[in-house]
Structure 1
């Protein structure tokens, strides 16, 4: 999936991908492992997955960004290619305090990818540039 996660986390996500493609569910042992590896953000991330809150925007140039609607309905952009989320929890728990591997938004994006549950949306390269810069078309 990504080289930013420890190999145990990467293998766990691969196991989830394999098992989910075979059984259309995640067995309890993998859910427990997920909780052990990713901690307190696991349940909120699974809730975001259940609510289909993850959209993958992709452009003709091959760029991808994930938009995750948080519990409050606010959109957060996650860049799994460089393991970054713009949410305050990522800045505080992951970057500053080094307490977590990920925030719930990034974990939800990883899980949706593994489970094939991402909503897909194609955007133009110009729209992707606006998304990546944090601007909207109304700003231009």
Structure 2
């Protein structure tokens, strides 16, 4: 599994976890070896209910957020983007997308179905994406 990039590894192990309903101890160890403290922070965010799926009606647009240390960050998992500083600086430094703990938490939460779901009107959508770097203060 060492040849897999971070995203491929996370996706593979989360799909396996979805099939059995949990992340096995062995898979957690593999993820920890790759992600270190980012995994610990991600699992804590999932456990504490800080991963949220916002559904806007009537359009049915969906937006993921993860509450972090300094605010609530909008996460675009399909684009591998997070509004946090760690994502920005590590992506610039590496010249490729970086999986911050918010992105890791979102993937784990979505694939295992462990997240808060909130409904909003379409008029509220702009509020979620209007702040600089897609971060809302909470």
What is the distance in 2 between the residues matched to 1:81 and 1:130?
21
Q: Give the equivalent residue in structure 2 for 1:65.
A: 63
Question: How far 1:38 moved relative to its partner?
Answer: 3.0
Q: Give the equivalent residue in structure 2 for 1:104.
A: 101
Instruction: Structure 1: give runs of 5+ residues left out of the alignment.
Output: 136-140
- Report if the CA contact (8 A) 1:39-1:100 is conserved: no
What is the distance in 2 between the residues matched to 1:91 and 1:82?
13
Q: Give the equivalent residue in structure 2 for 1:119.
A: 116
What is the distance in 2 between the residues matched to 1:104 and 1:29?
20
Q: Give the equivalent residue in structure 2 for 1:19.
A: 20
Q: 1:10 to 1:26 in 2, by over 3 A?
A: closer
Deviations 1:17-70 (A, max 9, x none): 2222xxxx4221110122234343111111111111111101232322222111
Q: 1:64 to 1:81 in 2, by over 3 A?
A: farther
Structure 1 length as normaliser, TM-score? 0.77
- Report if the CA contact (8 A) 2:80-2:97 is conserved: no
What is the distance in 1 between the residues matched to 2:93 and 2:32?
19
- Report if the CA contact (8 A) 2:75-2:83 is conserved: yes
Instruction: Give aligned pairs, total.
Output: 126
Bigger strand fraction: 2
- Report if the CA contact (8 A) 1:55-1:118 is conserved: yes
Instruction: Structure 2: give runs of 5+ residues left out of the alignment.
Output: 1-5, 133-138
Structure 2 length as normaliser, TM-score? 0.78
Which among 75, 78, 94 is matched to residue 72 of structure 2?
75
Which among 47, 51, 60 is matched to residue 50 of structure 1?
47
4+ long deviations beyond 6 Å: none
- Report if the CA contact (8 A) 2:54-2:119 is conserved: yes
